[in-house]
Amino acid sequence: MSSDWPPYGGDSSGDGAYVYHRRGVNTKAIIGIGVFAVLSFYSALLVSTRLDHIIAPGNELGGLFVQVPGTDASGEQAAAESIEERINILLLGLDRRTDQPEGDPYRTDSVMVLTIDPYSKTAGAFSIPRDTLVDIPDGEGGVMQQSRINEAWETGEYFADYPGGGPQLAMDTVEYNFGIPIDHYVLLDWTDFISIVNEVGGVDIDVPEYAYDPAYATCAYCYDIYPVEFIPGPEHMDGDRALAYARIRKSDNDYKRIERQQLVLKAIARKAASIDTIINDPIGMYNKFKGAVETDISDFRAAGLGALMTEVGVESIRTVSMQPAVYPCDYCDAAVLLWDPALVEELKAQVFSDSRVINDTASVAVLNGTPTPELAAAFSTYMRGKGVPPEKITVDEYANGLLYDTTIVVDTTGGNEFTVQQVAEWLGLPPDRVILATDPQATPFLNTSSGVVVVLGSDVEVVSWDTGELQVTTGSEG
């Protein structure tokens, strides 16, 4: 039977102490910074879809352009080998309305991690819902309290004795709960979003569906309430209009709002990443970025990140939401979301695993050729935890009623060397257990639509049912 795991999907203040100013900025650096800024608001707004995203764990940057991990000419390492080798940036959307003062602590309704693999030049975004219940660390190895994740920044700003304040507590909270080491943070609020859209000259969006809010407002305490309406078709939007399109939900629901926010973010990214937009006023673009975003990323490092992100490309960023792993708490006093750690690990793998596993894996059919129930499902869980997309896996617990003594991996079409090698390595299979399509032993499996067939035999031992890890226990004899 087919795996029923849902396909991945993406929907996703301080006092300015971390804002730096720089003189003598060259055009290339500005382009890099501009592109990085674009990705920052792309992520920050995507997060505000209420599917917060976690992005980019990793390395220290050593230089402007080529002195970034993975950009050397040697090409000896094809991809980041662990989550620590990635560059991970926490992107936060501050819930401050236009009539609320700057500098006060606010909640961060958008929580996203942007993860960049500097070796393979790939990136992804992991979104964490704002109401997810987490442990807020105390900075000394323990837990201060349990709260929604959107309260971490606010809590750190109130507790002056927490080292690093709100930014550090937000980063520590993500790592403490989800095992994602964070290198940097970027904070953006709604008022700055309007300025950014206007700075790039507005955005063009092809509105797919009618949307309407009879009482829209961007302020918390004022009476400036008015109706907004969006008709299907192409529309050029300024900052206020784009913000309204990204925030309204009265005519439908949060899911449709998420889709609208994704359209807005991609439109901003395309517009601001265009060479013309940045070249026309590079200094203005740079200053707008510096004034609109609070971050601990220095100018020097931002330029290197920007150059790296130009190689990645906006459209290729892989977005995954933690939403499938969260569920309402029925016994809690407040409306919070609990989460399934095992499912979170599977979703994390879709963005933080080896990019070759995510992108290059062929379709895999897993057959349980033993009397042990749910063995194929267990190995399917293991592969998802390694980053194999769920939609590429099918499971057959009966193997057409046949029992097998020996575990094998069959390349049914040829050309699936990477997937076959990975599966064999995960199972601890010797080379003679890998069967090519030209081998007579492969004949019974050639009528499948899967590029690779894994037959689990009685020589398989279950290492962990929780993670689905299996190991072949026999020698190399076939």
Q: Check whether 5 has a pLDDT greater than 60.
A: no
Q: Which residue has the tokens 């996703």?
A: 12
Mean pLDDT of 341-366: 89
Partners of 137 in beta bridges: 143
Residue-wise DSSP of 159-224? -TTSTTHHHHHHHHHHHHHH-----EEEEEEHHHHHHHHHHTT-EEEEE-S-EEEEEE-S-SS---
Q: What is the CATH number of domain 361-472?
A: 3.30.70.2390
Residue 103 CA from chain centroid, whole number: 29
- Domain made up of 27-352: CATH architecture: 3-Layer(aba) Sandwich (3.40)
Least confident of 75-79, 158-162, 290-294: 75-79
Distance CA 192, CA 208 (A): 26
Which of the two residues, 289 and 302, has the higher pLDDT score?
A: 302
Give 114's pLDDT tier (boundaries 50, 70, 90). confident
pLDDT at 70 over 60: no
Is it the case that residue 67 has pLDDT exceeding 50? no
The reported pLDDT for the residue numbered 253 is 62
- Lowest-pLDDT range of 59-68, 139-148, 429-438, 465-474: 59-68
Q: How far is CA 361 from CA 2, 364, 460, in A?
A: 17, 8, 22
Q: What was the pLDDT predicted at 339?
A: 95
Is residue 25's pLDDT more than 60?
Answer: no
Q: Give the C-alpha separation, 449 to 50, whole Å.
A: 38
Checking if the pLDDT of 94 tops 80, the result is no
Pairing of strands 226-230, 53-54: unpaired
Q: Pick the more confident residue, 413 or 41.
A: 413
Strand arrangement of the beta sheet that strand 393-396 belongs to: 393-396, 364-368, 452-456, 408-411, 434-435
The more confident residue out of 406 and 289 is 406
State the pLDDT at residue 66: 34
Interatomic CA distance for residues 316 and 116, integer angstroms: 11
pLDDT in tens, 216-241: 887 767 777 889 999 999 999 999 89
Q: Give the range among 103-117, 161-175, 286-300 with minimum mean pLDDT.
A: 286-300
The residue type of 181 is: P
Q: Give residue 159's region: left, alpha or beta (phi > 0; psi -120 to 50).
A: beta
pLDDT in tens, 428-461: 999 999 999 999 999 999 888 899 999 999 999 9
Calculate what percentage of the chain has a pLDDT beyond 90: 35
Q: Which of 294-298, 370-374, 394-398 has the lowest mean pLDDT?
A: 294-298
- HSE-CB at 301 with a 13 A cutoff on CA atoms is 15
Tokens linked to 302: 């931002």
Model pLDDT, residue 121: 85
pLDDT digits 0-9 by tens, 312-322:
777 777 878 88
Residue 312 has a pLDDT of 78
Q: What residues contact 168, with CB distance under 8 A and at least 6 apart? A: 156, 162
Residue ranges per domain, the chain?
Answer: 27-352, 361-472
Select the highest-mean-pLDDT range: 105-119, 347-361, 373-387: 373-387
What confidence tens digit (pLDDT) does each residue in 377-406 have? 999 999 999 999 999 999 999 988 899 999
Query: Tokens standing for 86?
Result: 């990635």
Rounded to the nearest integer, the mean pLDDT of the chain is: 77
**Residue 471 pLDDT > 70, yes or no?**
yes
pLDDT confidence of residue 262: 67
The model's confidence at residue 97, banded by pLDDT at 50, 70 and 90, is: low
Identify the pLDDT of residue 475. Answer: 53
Q: Is the pTM of this model over 0.85?
A: no
Q: Is 121 within 8 Å of 359 (Cβ atoms)?
A: no
- What pLDDT is recorded for position 306? 72
